Amino acid sequence: MPWLVLVIAGLLEVVWAVGLKYTQGFTRLTPSVITVSAMIISIAMLSWAMKTLPVGTAYAIWTGIGAVGASITGIILLGESASPARIISLVFIVAGIIGLKLSTH
């Protein structure tokens, strides 16, 4: 169960990371409320998952899901670069996340 909570927390990190773009400096109400809500829930879920998971592993996986998810969302929704170097870098992050998961006792 902590792994599922951690993955959901990571996906919510994607929501708030991308949401920051739409808040326009927290001047738009609806995107700001969604973004801040996702931040609070994501961090609360990360904290819950860390009750049983190693802190380094949980935090790295949470940030990795957020980084990869935000990058992919930026490519798909915002027209950001999908250069080979960027894609290869994302693959390395995913490999690191998998390695951390597999090496956790």
Confidence of residue 19 (pLDDT cuts 50, 70, 90): very high
Per-residue pLDDT, 105: 66
Does the pLDDT of residue 104 top 80, yes or no? Answer: no
- What gap in Å lies between CA 75 and CA 53, rounded to an integer? 31
Percent of the chain beyond pLDDT 90? 89
pLDDT in tens, 55-94: 989 999 999 999 999 999 999 999 999 999 999 999 999 9
**Mean pLDDT to the nearest integer, 94-105:** 85
Classify the C-alpha dihedral 48-53-59-63 as positive or negative.
negative
